[in-house]
Structure 1
């Protein structure tokens, strides 16, 4: 079985109609849901969600990241209210008929010696999510290290709990992606694809020349990874704002000048920087990388 490709679609605060239109135009088979109109799922009014659910009756939702903030272990008095909020959020996710719930482990100090209580809290959260027959993808968060995630996954020993491998997160916390891969490879269910240059600006996959994206992809291909490959491109937002900067910023801001150059380079090569075009170009790169299949541009 080959890996399945998808992308987030919530760029530029897209409403649900815009996202579904992109989903269809890109000919995706699995939907990744995160924000709707710029709002996280867990904070949206229920009456608005009730109008949205029917639109997903014929769409296969791979995973929902409700962007629920992590629980803080130094605020144990708030555990019961947090668990109630988690359950309410899970019921929202379940109504999308999603396969996976994207979960973040609690915030805690990794220098503590006893992790038993932390694992107990995580286990409690996993039980709440599993009560609704959702599988779990753990997302990197709060500067937690690969070793800590490996420890937690080993302790959980749960066949329906996997991890999302996000190499840009690792880069930002100065963790070597090759070491992280070795530590976590037995638990990886999803790979997030993104590319940035040395300034942190988004780039077309494989063109940032700062993170070894091709080498990372090759590692997963060599393993015959059959999980999910998901694009999460900061380039979409960058291109959407770069050309709209004020004239003064364009003259004096190094950051704006750099982003404007990225914008102009993209326009010169691909003629358009609308969201569909930016996603199509990068999905074509991923298709060639992982499926050895060309997508017409």
Structure 2
């Protein structure tokens, strides 16, 4: 089975109608849900969610990242309230008929010698999520290292728990992606695709010339990775704001000048910088990379 491609759709604080329209225009088969109108799922009013759930009756939701903050291990008095909030959040995710719940492990100091208590807390969280028949994707967070994730996954030994491989996260915490891949490859269920240049500005996949995106993709292709490839592009937000900067900022700010150049280069090549166009271009790159299939840009 080949990998399945998708993308987040919640850019520019998009409402649910805008996101579903993008989902259909991009001809996606699996929906990635994170924010609605700029709000995280766990903090949205229930009455608003009740109006949204019916819109997903005929949409296959791959995963929901509710953006629930991680539990802090140095605040054990708050574990019961946190677990209650987690369960309430899981019930929200379940109503979207999602396959996966995106989970972040607790915040803790990795220099401690005894991880048993940490694994116990994570196991408790996994049980809460699994009670609702959701599979789990663990997301990199809070500067935790690949070795720590491998240790936890080995301890859990759970067939319904996988990890999301995010190489831009690894870059930001100075962890070698090739080493991280070797450590985690047996547990990877999803690959997040993104590209940035040396300033951290978002770029079209494969054009940042700073992170070896093509080499990373090749590693997954050679392994015949049959999980999920998901675009999470900071370029969409950059292009949406770069041309709207004030004249003074455009004149004196190196960051703004750099982002404006990225904007102008994109417009020159692809004619438009609206969200659909930016996503279509990059989904076309991913389709060619992973499926050897061309997508017409029109």
TM-score, with length taken from structure 2: 1.00
Structure 1 distance, partners of 2:131, 2:240, is 41
Structure 2 distance, partners of 1:271, 1:14, is 22
- 3-state SS, counterpart of residue 6 of structure 2: strand
Structure 1 distance, partners of 2:213, 2:123, is 34
Structure 1 distance, partners of 2:271, 2:90, is 42
2:11 is aligned with 1:23: no
For residue 271 of structure 1, report the CA deviation from its aligned partner: 0.1
For residue 160 of structure 1, report the CA deviation from its aligned partner: 0.0
- 3-state SS, counterpart of residue 205 of structure 1: coil
Structure 1 distance, partners of 2:22, 2:240, is 16
For residue 208 of structure 1, report the CA deviation from its aligned partner: 0.0
- Residue pairs, 1:58-207, within 5 angstroms: 58-207=58-207
Structure 1 distance, partners of 2:222, 2:172, is 26
Q: What residue is the counterpart of 1:47 in the other structure?
A: 47
Structure 2 distance, partners of 1:225, 1:18, is 31
TM-score, with length taken from structure 1: 1.00
Give the number of equivalent residue pairs.
297
Q: Which runs of 5+ in 2 are unaligned?
A: none
For residue 173 of structure 1, report the CA deviation from its aligned partner: 0.0
Q: Which runs of 5+ in 1 are unaligned?
A: none
How much is the aligned-residue C-alpha RMSD, in angstroms? 0.1
For residue 152 of structure 1, report the CA deviation from its aligned partner: 0.0
Deviations 1:128-182 (A, max 9, x none): 0000000000000000000000000000000000000000000000000000000
Deviating 4+ runs (over 6 angstroms): none
For residue 202 of structure 1, report the CA deviation from its aligned partner: 0.0
Structure 2 distance, partners of 1:271, 1:18, is 21
Deviations 1:32-76 (A, max 9, x none): 000000000000000000000000000000000000000000000
Structure 2 distance, partners of 1:90, 1:185, is 27
- 3-state SS, counterpart of residue 110 of structure 2: coil
- 3-state SS, counterpart of residue 79 of structure 1: helix
